[in-house]
Amino acid sequence: MKKIMKFTLLFVTLNLSPIFVQADEKPNEELMKIVKEFTPSNALLVTPKKPLSTSPIQLYDFNQDGQKELILTFKIKAKEQPSPSLYGVIVLKKINNEWDKVWETKIQGVDLDFSGLTDITGDGVKEYLFGVTIGAAAGSNLEIFQWIDNSLKNIAEVPYHEIDLLNGNQKEGLAVWQAYIADCYLVDVLKWNGEKLIYDKELYSKYYPVIEKFYNDKISKMDAWFYWYCLADAQIKSNLFEEASNSIEKGSLLAKKLSMPEVVQNFNKLSDRLEEKKNSLYNYNKIKTFWV
């Protein structure tokens, strides 16, 4: 079974500061009574692990009418332990001076990893992000909901083991860390293209120093082939071809010393990918020069 280790990512400049998506204000005593009324009797309010300092009760004006909706996260503990619990979200809206539940969702898991608000689509209105941890090996699943017709609609889902929110030209991007082996991750950076989340090479290149520092720190403590493999993957994605070639060479050599032919083959495939990327970029620049 993969051993997943938690880590803290260090944010760089280049407009990649972390986004804190805390509630707009603390709920008062009156709102706490409303929350208690709508919370399931067998449930407890639960605080997400991320973003830091986020409350289980958040307020946000989704439809920009001056009246904030109320978002609450809760947990229904499984009767038989250690079975997964149910983690849920309820959105309350004030209609004609009366609070009413307009949306609810639940998902089975072992922890509430993420609950926050940020503008993924770039339309000026924040989306609600809900991430539940399924298990250590499986990681977490992030659901992204957009406010449509006085309710929240799922517009995207992203599996992850660690995740960062990044500023990127009005829209927020997602740096998604997927477990590879041990405490090693393959990273993608995604951004909304108007219809769905897609890979964003420009934002990835800006985020790359975070990835590089993470693996340089790891390699300084233990020179392992899997760190070089994931670093090379990030370097290929960032068009750092010489650096990627060096990383592939170092990682492959370590794998050969350990008599791991399958791993060496994986490095060979990574090398092929590097050459394809170099040729593709060369041909693109050649065509671009021709038409200029």
Model confidence pLDDT, tens digit, residues 91-122: 999 999 999 999 999 999 999 999 999 999 99
> Does a structural domain hold residue 142?
yes
Question: For position 171, what pLDDT does the model report?
Answer: 78
Model confidence pLDDT, tens digit, residues 214-240: 999 999 999 999 999 999 999 999 999
Q: How many CA atoms lie within 13 A of 52 on its CB side?
A: 4
At residue 82 the predicted structure's pLDDT band, cuts being 50, 70 and 90, is confident
CA nearest neighbour of 86 among 77, 94, 95, 96: 77
Tokens of 232: 């090379």
The separation between CA 191 and the C-alpha centre of its own chain, rounded to angstroms, equals 11
Whole-structure pTM value: 0.86
| Residue keyed to tokens 């986004």 | 19
Kindly tell me if the per-residue pLDDT of 252 is higher than 90.
Answer: yes
Least confident range from 8-12, 131-135, 268-272: namely: 8-12
| Structural domain boundaries enclosing 119 | 1-161
- Contact, 214 vs 208, CB < 8 A? no
Helical residues (DSSP H) of the chain, grouped into ranges: 29-38, 201-221, 225-237, 241-257, 261-291
Give exposure, 211-228, as e/b (b: 16+ Cβ within 10 Å): bbebbeebbeeeebbbbb
> Does a structural domain hold residue 117?
yes
Q: Is 34 exposed, middle or buried (0-12, 13-18, 19+ CB in 10 A)?
A: middle
> Does a structural domain hold residue 57?
yes
Per DSSP, 50 falls in state B
How many domains are contained in the chain?
A: 1
> Does a structural domain hold residue 190?
no
